[in-house]
Structure 1
Amino acid sequence: MSLELRNVDWQAGFKKIITDVTIAVKPGEFLGLIGPNGSGKTTLMSVLGGLRRPSRGDAILDGQALKNIGRRNLAQRIGFVEQQADTIDRITVTEAVSLGRTPYLGLLSPWSQNDDAVVDDALDAVDMRSMKDRMWHTLSGGEKQRVHIARALAQEPEFLLLDEPTNHLDIRHQLGILELVRRLPVTVVAALHDLNHAAMFCDRIAMMDGGKLRAIGTPQDILIPENLRDVFGVSATVEPDDIHPGRCMIRYHAGGANTDVVSDFADIKADIKKDRIA
């Protein structure tokens, strides 16, 4: 059971979004994908999930190129939760989660009691069973996100790909969702915005910068002050987690952001003031 990218490029027109990325996801791990906005995280996730074909290189599942695997088969093995997934259909929460069973249904495989049980388990997993009869359009952003994750869980995938899964969630549900996916018997790849979440929950972290894979390793190997300064432009102290070897905790320094941006902004304001005086 393996999922990997080998020397992958992806470009839009003449612009390369990711360049020469090679990465192998280890079975059973929680792999976090981090990087500044625009570093290529979402594109890499969509290539890894088979939603986009590489411009160069290969995306491979168990030795077979994703492009050669049927969509139905792929959907049974890889669950993908996009960052901005939505629907305008007037459906209930249960109906939305039931869409995750679509890859298993057919003329010879109608809906069964097992499908009902899988959907109920998925709703329980994200603490949404009590809202199963609510209409989709009445949900908050955080509630919708939890339903999307439940829909992916209903696919019973081997790999669960999550693009910014904690968007719109309050802190309790952010931690709850990440704790949930960490306990699931699946291999998880998640693009994460919060670096401390990556430090707390991930077995390994892949750091993207400018469309390239800068480094990959344990949280303690990757989330070092030099990387935080060079890639994210922030100053921080990183402390090892004595309870969980290989993990760490980040303490940001107030006023420790990259001063180049502040300096450039000050120069622009000064130039505008001079122009007005002139």
Structure 2
Amino acid sequence: MEDLVQQLKAIGYTEYEAKSYVSLVKSGTVTAYQVSKNSGIPRARIYDILKSLIEKGLVLKEEKIDGTVYSPLPVDVFLEKAQSNWQKNYQSLSNKLKQLETTEESPDNRILILKEKTTIISYCRMLIRKAEKRIIISLWDDMYEEVREELEEVAEGVQIQGITLHVDHPIKTVDLHRITHFTEAPTSKRWFVLSIDAKEMIYGSYVNDCELAFYTNDQVHIYLLEDYVWHDVLVNRLVKRNKDNLEQWISEERKKFFMEDGFVEK
């Protein structure tokens, strides 16, 4: 019940209004006293709350011989009403904000911190839809699935290149990363890179590991990380073409380079 109350508050109802409506949905047609008792709202407040909900069309009032009773607006009707109101508010908000938004080009060399999963995902989706010529990606399966729909929508008009890991049926121009001991290790970070037209980029670790990512239009950042993706693609292609067992050699060389397991080459 608490989750429902919080969700109703998120779309504009007060806590008491939310509790009253949820209580009525659960109980059906009851008196104000019963609403107060079931919802925990003080009796001194319940009539004002019910009056507010009647004016908002969420509660129906009925006068009977033995007293007044209240009924909730049917859930299906409420949901349709809420969706309609949300769409109207969204469109109005969208129009007004876009009129205010500056059309000046953003300054170069920006590095912005993005926080919270939905913000990061929404920003990635927005950038993909802006792409005109080329998208370069380095994505694990969980992050890829978050933006799969947008990638497939733009794939016909935009060249998409890069590498993915554990992704089923990625865009055909994208390479599949080989499975290695390093990629499967529990401690491995699921980094992602999303570069748009070599002009804008978002990079970070997978949002469920750390709700933090970075946006940049700095050309040095973009060049270095696109080059990082290309080298990852190149190594995977070379390993697949080579008949020798390179995985062990690559693993040892990595340990030496990053001084893992306390290894220091002399």
TM-score (norm 1): 0.24
Q: Decide which structure has greater strand share.
A: 1
* The structure with more radius of gyration: 2
Q: Decide which structure has greater helix share.
A: 2
TM-score (norm 2): 0.25
Q: Which has the higher contact order (CA 8 A, sep 6+)?
A: 1
